[in-house]
Amino acid sequence: MATIEVRGLTKQFGDGPPAVDHIDLASEDGEFLVLLGPSGCGKTTLLRMIGGLETPTEGDVLIGGRVVTHLPPRARKIAMVFQSYALYPHMSVYDNIAFPLKAQRLPKEEQRKKVAWAASILGIEQFLNRKPRQLSGGQRQRVALARALVREPNVFLLDEPLSNLDAQRRASARDELQQFQRSIGTTTIYVTHDQVEAMGMGDRIAVIDRGRIRQIGTPKEIYDDPADTFVATFLGTPPMNLVERDGLIFGFRPEHFTPANGSHSDDVVRFQFVVHREEYLGSERLLYGEIGSAKAVARFPATTDVELRIGQPVEYVVARRHLKFFNPRTGERTRD
Amino acid sequence: MTAIAEQQRVWQREERRAGWRRAGKRGLLYTVATLFALFAAIPFAWMVFTIFKQNTDLYNGKNNPFLYNDPPTLDNIRLLFNQTNYTTFVVNTIFVAALVVVITLIAAVPAAYALTRLTGRWGESLGIAIFLVYLVPPTLLFIPMTRIVAELGLKNSRWSMVVVYPTFTIPFCTWLLMGFFKSIPWDIEEQAMIDGYSRLGAIVRAVIPVSLPGILTVIAFSVAMTMHEFVYALAFVTSSSEKTVSIGVTTELIRGDVFFWQSLMAAAAIVAIPVALIYTLFLDRFIQGFTLGAVKG
């Protein structure tokens, strides 16, 4: 068990802007920390530097309070699961799982015990003699996790481990993975570009864009209290509405955007909303339209009846406590 | 009722048709395969039939080459083994081939790995440049090479071939292995490094086993090159005890304008058939689907 910390970590490839730009980040012990960001934002590079597969241009990586920046991956006592699972195709499942133990030169008998233990946790005992190519995507993922688990690492590093699964399998894998992490209690860093995975699994989420951490917090903090317009629009489907007014950007979630229905409350801000299109999604309805020239979306549970007048401005309101304000120049949050 | 019966009849008819189509496809496949097998096998068959023919049978143009008009004979094989150093040629060939394979692997595997993994964009161009070296013909190079061989004191020795052959096997095999290494995902190697090995350990334990088909191809290619190389061998080696099969039999079984066809055929068949069998046995087994299922689905 250990914490992970990075200090001023920077990675520069060639002449361009740095892939990772002076990131400071510290995990808590046993935490499930998600690095979330669009592709190319530097989250995988950050993970690879923690794992030792990439040498930082600047800054330090600490595992369990010890500086490991210049140690090779094998000395860091970490386990990593790649997006591709990176199973050794020429080895059976058993040999794949036993591989890190062989590297430690553990006695054969002990290897067998540990492999059996890891295989039972992940429910893959019956596949031990198969080759990776004979397994389904979900089974391969479990083999990769068993291989990571078997060496009892200080830290798990997971790089988009669910992205090769189909949508249905992904939901159950999310659940399995989270339960697995809770039961073994090992500090885990999980990289993803999928906000549903991040929100559903993370104890905390670090939102990364262009090599910098934009915000770090619990899923609720990130969603309810975004630090800037990037975070506000990156999370949530559909994302937060952003409307410029009085020299500020007003931000509000589509679910807080409702018809005024003639109310005269002072606690609300009013917008003239022109609906262009309705999307019926079964459990909810989305109304796409514009406020002035800014695009906006309203979202309703399918159970509520909303009168629809396509193409005509209708008065909509947002409660003041649900409004966030951003600086139009920097995109950062201004405290109201 | 009748409608259902009608429908069933239509289905049956369609099924029959699909069956015929399947059979047709199968038939075509087998025809092509048979033709190809004949194409590959006939030279061998001709060779084997010729070995046991008497001169009077072979040189009569009206005789069917695939039938014995005169009784078959072993005289030609006796001639090959008793009047030439054929056994020595075979031993020399194996000796040279084995050493060339070892040298080629020692040089080409690390070179190809480095060019694919470490040098980025330059790797590709350097690989092609190395491959171009292979295209310079031996007929041009044997003159300077003779000088080098003489300087090394290897003239008229089978060691001269051990030294010279890698000059064309290494460039080609490096280029060939680059293709194989490129198809191996980095992930496997990095995973091995995470799992507790150094880069070298990761290469030995994860990269090499997965690229086994490529390494086997390199071995096969180097052996084949050694067996059929002619120009260098002819230029560097004159004494019978140092010759390989390819020059040994052609220099000693073609005397002036007299071709000992049956013995030549025997000399070729004795080395070619085992090699052909080994290739089919091994390559087939290793190449198929070796890297499948390594990553993704």
**B contacts of A98 (beta carbons < 8 Å):** none
Q: Is A242 on the interface with B (CB under 8 A)?
A: no
What pLDDT was estimated at residue B155? 87
Helix ranges restricted to H, chain A: 43-51, 93-103, 108-122, 137-149, 167-184, 195-201, 219-224, 229-234
Q: Is B15 on the interface with A (CB under 8 A)?
A: no
Phi, psi of B202 (to 5 degrees): -65, -40
Q: Is A78 on the interface with B (CB under 8 A)?
A: yes
Helix-then-strand count for chain B, H and E: 15, 2
In angstroms, the Cα distances linking A129 to A94, A125, A145 are 6, 9, 17
Q: Is B272 on the interface with A (CB under 8 A)?
A: no
Instruction: Tokens for B81, please give them.
Output: 């083994």
Task: Walk along chain A (336 residues) and give the pLDDT tens digit of each residue.
Answer: 689 999 999 999 888 888 999 999 999 999 999 999 998 898 999 999 999 999 999 999 999 889 999 999 988 889 999 888 899 988 999 999 999 999 989 999 999 999 998 888 888 889 899 998 888 888 888 899 899 988 889 899 999 888 877 888 788 888 888 888 888 889 999 999 999 889 989 999 999 999 999 999 999 999 999 999 999 999 988 899 999 888 889 999 999 998 887 777 778 888 999 999 988 888 888 999 999 888 999 998 887 777 777 888 888 899 988 999 999 888 898 865
Residue A57 DSSP label: S
Phi, psi of A298 (to 5 degrees): -120, 150
Cβ-defined contact of B187 to A84 (cutoff 8 Å) = yes
* CA–CA separation, B94 and A190 (whole Å): 55
Residue B99: which pLDDT band, with cuts at 50, 70 and 90?
Answer: very high
Give the CA radius of gyration of chain B. Answer: 27
Find residue A279's DSSP bridge partners. Answer: A286
Name every residue whose Cβ is closer than 8 Å to that of residue B258 and which is 6 or more positions away in sequence: none
Name every residue whose Cβ is closer than 8 Å to that of residue A305 and which is 6 or more positions away in sequence: none
Closest-CA residue of A relative to B185 is A86
Query: Hey, CA dihedral for B136, B142, B143, B149, is it positive or negative?
Result: positive
Is the distance from CB of A296 to CB of A275 less than 8 angstroms? no
Q: Specify the CATH superfamily of domain B78-296.
A: MetI-like (1.10.3720.10)
Q: Is B14 on the interface with A (CB under 8 A)?
A: no
Indicate the pTM of the whole model.
0.77
Phi, psi of A250 (to 5 degrees): -90, 125
Name every residue whose Cβ is closer than 8 Å to that of residue A220 and which is 6 or more positions away in sequence: none
Burial class (CB in 10 A: 0-12, 13-18, 19+), B239: exposed
Query: Hey, CA dihedral for B38, B40, B46, B49, is it positive or negative?
Result: negative
What pLDDT was estimated at residue B284? 62
Cβ-defined contact of B191 to A80 (cutoff 8 Å) = yes
Q: What is the DSSP annotation of B35-46? A: HHHHHHHHHHHH
Cβ-defined contact of A86 to B193 (cutoff 8 Å) = no
Tens digits of per-residue pLDDT, B131-184? 888 888 888 888 899 999 999 998 889 999 999 999 989 998 998 888 888 888
Closest-CA residue of B relative to A151 is B195
In angstroms, the Cα distances linking B192 to A161, B199, B214 are 17, 8, 20
Q: Specify the CATH superfamily of domain A4-229.
A: P-loop containing nucleotide triphosphate hydrolases (3.40.50.300)
Cβ-defined contact of A89 to B297 (cutoff 8 Å) = no
Find residue A146's DSSP bridge partners. Answer: none
Best residue in B194, B292, B296 for a mutation probing chain A (most A CBs within 10 Å): B194
**A212 half-sphere exposure, CB direction, 13 A CA radius:** 6
Q: In what order do the strands lie in the sheet with A284-291?
A: A258-259, A313-319, A268-280, A284-291, A294-301
3-state DSSP percent of chain A in helix, strand and coil, to 5: 30, 30, 40
Query: Hey, CA dihedral for A110, A113, A118, A121, is it positive or negative?
Result: negative
Closest-CA residue of B relative to A164 is B296
Cross-chain CB nearest to A74 (options B188, B193, B296): B193
Q: Is B194 on the interface with A (CB under 8 A)?
A: yes
Instruction: Tokens for B26, please give them.
Output: 């199968």
Cβ-defined contact of A100 to B196 (cutoff 8 Å) = yes
Cross-chain CB nearest to A137 (options B194, B201, B297): B297
> What ipTM does this complex have?
0.82
Closest-CA residue of B relative to A102 is B196
Closest-CA residue of A relative to B195 is A100
**Domains in chain A: boundaries:** 4-229, 239-326
Closest-CA residue of A relative to B202 is A103
* Contact pairs from chain A to chain B, CB under 8 Å: 90
For the structural domain made of A239-326, what CATH number should be given?
Answer: 2.40.50.140
